[in-house]
Chain A
Amino acid sequence: MKVRPDWHQMPATDRTLGSYPAYVGHHAGADNTMVKGTHVSSPPTQTQPSRAHSRIEIVGLTKSFGSFKAVDNLTFSVEPGRITGFLGPNGAGKTTTLRMVLGLITPTAGHSTIGGVPYAHLKHPTRTVGAALEATNFHPGRSGRDHLRVLAAAGGIPESRVDEMLELVGIPAAAKRRAGNYSMGMRQRLGLAAAMLGDPNVLVLDEPTNGLDPEGIRWLRGFLRHLAGEKKTILISSHLLGEVQATVDDVVIISNGRLVKNGPIESLHGQASAIVRTTDPARLASALHASGITSERLEDTVLQAYTSDLQAIGDTALSAGLPIYELRAQQQDLEALFFELTSQPENQNRNLAGAEPPPPVGQHLPPHRGQAPQQGQEGIS
């Protein structure tokens, strides 16, 4: 599984970090050095008071193409004020589901509503729901600005919003050029500007991080955080959990069109743990046990302690007179977990039938990291 290197380098705590200066203050302890040098655009100038009832509800949604069941009896809801990650491997049915929610595809069975109303019956669809489905939905011969002008006209949105949005996503200079010459990152930004044009309360973004550079991804993360702070309902799809794990509050994981997991992302993390390397792990283990911390021996000199309190481990080791060679919080390998969830026999990717089975989870990890944590197995919904 290929994970973008820029994501690996991002600490998990970065999710609390808005690239928006105005919002950094909201996150106590945010690493402000990360904000410096980040391109910052001005926040939307007109923010409407939050309109209630912008929950997305999906009930028994099913879509068959001939004998192929792309989406199979899917039920979940997306809550306002939270960023929900809609995850699954390629071909799991994410895009089909999103397109059914947006009234583009007629479901075979089931239904979905936005604030209790099916998309097609919304009075002002693009002012209620902003959608960015593909980064290539532009006429290559039309300028980015004209593209937005067309959408503004169609949605009954004042044209002044066009330049505001171009400013907001940081491509005002490119807006007069024809969209066919845009880089992938600029297309994503233009798509986001299009989605935001009607100042909607609900945002549906399909793979918004595709083609964004690290700066763009960080910008997007802060941007989405800012929007969630305005009580907007945000649903973003991705085939890489790692891409969104720092961004989302809730996850909905599907595989082969069926729901696999649904719940807050914290419930995926499971128990916090730390890796500690010392001379005598057995003695440290009993010392830790005495202070109420359970642990497990991984290797000759390595212990996995089930706590997030590194200081407690250090103090215990000091009073036990044991040296510490290494002490760090165990990284939650959500990517491995995601992979495991979506490759269980019943969830194995139907598009890869007959292909080599994937390597067992954990084998690709560096040896000293020990086994991949097996959390998340206990139902998280």
Chain B
Amino acid sequence: MIASAIKAEILKIFTTRLWWGLLIGDVLIGGLLSFAFAFQLGQTDSSDSPTAAIMSHPNVAAAQAIYSAGFTVTLAELFPLALGVILITAEFRHKTWTSTVLSTPLRWPISVAKAIAICVVGFVYAVVYDVAAVVGGGITMSVWRHSGLYLGSAEVWQTLGLIVLAFIIWTLLGFGFGLLLRNQIVAVFVGIGLAFIGNILFSIIFSLLHWDWAPKFLPSNLTSSMLNPTFASDPANHTFAWGWAAVVLTIYGLVLAGAGAVLNQRKDVL
């Protein structure tokens, strides 16, 4: 039953225009941001800030920062977030939830199947995104900054690989969010609002309160910490080491998706 449910959930994702529509947007933004971000390479003074130090000359950490630029500015993750929200809330909005439950009357296999389908689409997103970011950033790096692409570096591949995790977790966050709010329009606005504007807002509030320990818990900061290990390893930046950032972010995704699934477990399908 669970295998059938997984197959159905994957088919569901790839039989509407949503997945490629959002993917095109994400890839364009990601590619352009990496392309633009790479122009900073060698233009910064290493004594200005930790970020400036990383970008002061071509090196592995700079390549990691360039390829994950879309996440550093909290834009790339909004697309998988919206994907997760829309995928689940579409079931309520268009009442396909009824046939989903009719096919799989026990609810937990539905949640598991949806989570696995999200891993599949998250992987597809990440692969296309990686290609776009490397191409976008790489053009600037090689044409205008005479830098290598550092594609032989295991650390760069670690970042490109963790982008897969980032996509999966942000889609899961959207999925959990959508399950909790159910209303598509509300969930999209609140979800995007919290992730983007909320991230800025909380950063300001935390800095006013001098809560240096707090910003590192924000999901967007966890994502950039995970993708930029050199930056994250500097204690002055008050961030989690990349591994812990990955763990905490994964916990967020699982907790939110799990909470949504549990609350939906016995809810009547009207």
User: Which chain B residues in 69-106 approach chain A with CB under 8 Å?
Assistant: 90, 94-96, 98-106
**Assembled-state Cα–Cα distance A142/B17 (Å):** 8
Contacting pair A134 B98 (CB below 8 A): yes
| Known contacts A137-B94, A138-B96; is-contact A103 B16 (Cβ 8 Å) | no
**Assembled-state Cα–Cα distance A99/B5 (Å):** 21
**Assembled-state Cα–Cα distance A154/B106 (Å):** 13
Tell me which of B7-15, B146-154, B173-181 binds A: B7-15
Least CB distance, A161 to chain B, in whole angstroms: 14
**Does B143 belong to the interface (CB within 8 Å)?**
no
| Known contacts A125-B102, A133-B98, A139-B90; is-contact A99 B270 (Cβ 8 Å) | yes
Q: List residues of chain A with CB within 8 A of the CB of B1.
A: 156
Contacting pair A150 B15 (CB below 8 A): yes
Complex partner residue of B4 from A122, A143, A153, CB under 8 angstroms: A153
CB nearest to B10 among chain A residues: A153
**Does A330 belong to the interface (CB within 8 Å)?**
no
**Assembled-state Cα–Cα distance A151/B11 (Å):** 10
CB nearest to A100 among chain B residues: B268
Contacting pair A102 B102 (CB below 8 A): yes
**Does B266 belong to the interface (CB within 8 Å)?**
yes
User: Which chain A residues in 90-140 approach chain B with CB under 8 Å?
Assistant: 99, 102-106, 119-122, 125-126, 131, 133-134, 136-140
**Does A231 belong to the interface (CB within 8 Å)?**
no
Least CB distance, B92 to chain A, in whole angstroms: 11
**Assembled-state Cα–Cα distance A120/B104 (Å):** 8
CB nearest to B3 among chain A residues: A156
Q: List residues of chain A with CB within 8 A of the CB of B24.
A: none
**Does A323 belong to the interface (CB within 8 Å)?**
no
Q: Please give 14 more A-B residue pairs, beta carbons under 8 A apart, in addition to A125-B102, A151-B8.
A: A121-B105, A134-B98, A136-B94, A137-B98, A139-B90, A139-B94, A140-B94, A141-B16, A142-B12, A142-B15, A146-B15, A149-B11, A153-B8, A154-B99
**Does A155 belong to the interface (CB within 8 Å)?**
yes
Q: List residues of chain A with CB within 8 A of the CB of B106.
A: 120
Interface size of A in residues (CB-CB distance below 8 Å): 32
Contacting pair A105 B4 (CB below 8 A): no
**Does A194 belong to the interface (CB within 8 Å)?**
yes
Contacting pair A104 B268 (CB below 8 A): yes
CB nearest to A198 among chain B residues: B103
| Known contacts A104-B268, A105-B270, A149-B15; is-contact A154 B94 (Cβ 8 Å) | no
Q: Bits for A169-204, please: 1 = Cβ < 8 Å to B, else 0.
A: 000000000000000000000000010000000000
Q: List residues of chain A with CB within 8 A of the CB of B94.
A: 136-140
**Assembled-state Cα–Cα distance A155/B100 (Å):** 10
Contacting pair B105 A122 (CB below 8 A): yes
**Assembled-state Cα–Cα distance A125/B90 (Å):** 23
Contacting pair A137 B96 (CB below 8 A): yes
Q: List residues of chain B with CB within 8 A of the CB of A143.
A: 15
Q: Which 4 pairs across A and B sit closest by C-beta, in order of nearness?
A: A154-B8, A154-B103, A104-B269, A120-B105
Q: List residues of chain A with CB within 8 A of the CB of B98.
A: 104, 133-134, 137
Q: List residues of chain B with CB within 8 A of the CB of A146.
A: 11, 15
